[in-house]
Amino acid sequence: MLASSPVRIRLHRITYRAYRKGASRVRNMLDIFIHIPKTGGTSFNRLIQDHYSANRIAFLHDDPEWSFERLIEKCKDKNQKIKIVSGHFPYGIHEWIGRPYRYITILRNPVELVISLYDYIRSIPLHQYYHLVVDKSLHEFISDQQFDLFTSNLQSKLLGLATVFPYFPALHNEVGVENAIFPDHASVQQHLRRHFACVGVTDKYKECLQPMRDALGWKRSPKLYRENSNPNRTSLDTLDRDTIEKIARKNSLDIQLYSIVVERWYSSKGK
C-alpha cells in the first residue's frame, strides 16, 4: 500500500479534531452517512435506528417512501426533524439541503470490497445483476468493463464526486455508462479533512464504534451488529495471484485512500 507523509496525517488529525469540537456546538446539525456497499454499512444502519427515532431518519436506499426531492423538502422544513441521512449516494448531498452538516462513512480494504461485491451479487438470485455475474469467475467479473463502477476505485468515486450527485441517485444507474468516471484523489482528501466527523474501517469495526459515538454525540454505547454478512464468502487464500494483483491495479486510488485512513486511525487512536 502507498504510505502518506507524516505531515499530511498530522494536519489531517488536527483538522478532524477541531472540526468535531466545533460541529458539536452547532444546532440543527444534519448527519450524513455515505453507505459504501459491503463495508458494514447495513450493521451501522441498525445503530442509527438504535440512536434516532424513526421520524428523524431518512434512508435513501431502495425505500419507495424516500426520494431525493422528498429528502430536500423534509430537511428544509422549518421544524428540521430529520437528523440523519443514510444511503448509497456520493459526497455532495449537502449542497442541496442548506443546513449545517457533517459526513460519516466506513471504508474497507479495496481488494476485499471487490470480492465481497462479487460474492454478494452471485448469492442473490433476485439481484438485478445476478444473471450477468453468476456464471462469471471473479477474474472475468473484474475484467468486464461494464462493472467498472463497482470494480475500480468505488470508494474514491463516492467520496470525491460532488458534482455528479444529481445524476447519480443510485449506483446501478451508472453501470454500463460509456464515459468512465475518474475520481480526483486530492478532492477526496480535502473532503475527508474538511467535512467528515469520523471515518471508520471495516477491519476495525468494533474499535470504530466508540469514535463514531463520540463524533455523533450518542449518549449510549453502541451495540455490535453483524448484518448482511455472507457466510460463503470467497477467501483471499483461495485466489490466484494474478486476480488479486488485477484488483489492486484497478483500485490504486482506493488502496492509497484506505492506507491514509488506516494510518490516521492508528495515529489518532486513544489521543
Distance CA 209, CA 190 (A): 24
Greatest mean pLDDT among 36-50, 202-216, 256-270 lies in 36-50
Q: Are 256 and 1 in contact (CB under 8 A)?
A: yes
Render pLDDT for 222-242 as a digit per residue (tens, 0 to 9): 666 555 556 677 888 889 999
Distance CA 222, CA 206 (A): 10
Q: What is the pLDDT of residue 4?
A: 33
More confident residue, 256 or 90: 256
**pLDDT band at 267, cuts 50/70/90?**
low
More confident residue, 227 or 168: 227
Greatest mean pLDDT among 18-22, 119-123, 206-210 lies in 119-123
Q: Tell me what the mean pLDDT of segment 47-60 comes to.
A: 88
Render pLDDT for 2-51 as a digit per residue (tens, 0 to 9): 333 322 323 233 334 444 444 444 678 899 999 999 998 888 888 888 88
**pLDDT band at 211, cuts 50/70/90?**
confident
Q: What is the pLDDT of residue 181?
A: 56
Check whether 80 has a pLDDT greater than 90: no
Q: Which residues, at least 6 apart from 110, have a Cβ–Cβ distance to it below 8 Å?
A: 153, 155, 247, 248, 251, 254, 255, 258
Check whether 253 has a pLDDT greater than 60: yes
Distance CA 144, CA 126 (A): 21
Which structural domains are found in the chain, ordered by start? 6-268 (3.40.50.300)
**pLDDT band at 94, cuts 50/70/90?**
confident
Looking at the whole model, is its pTM more than 0.85?
no
Least confident of 103-107, 256-260, 263-267: 263-267
**Which H or E run contains 103?**
strand 101-107
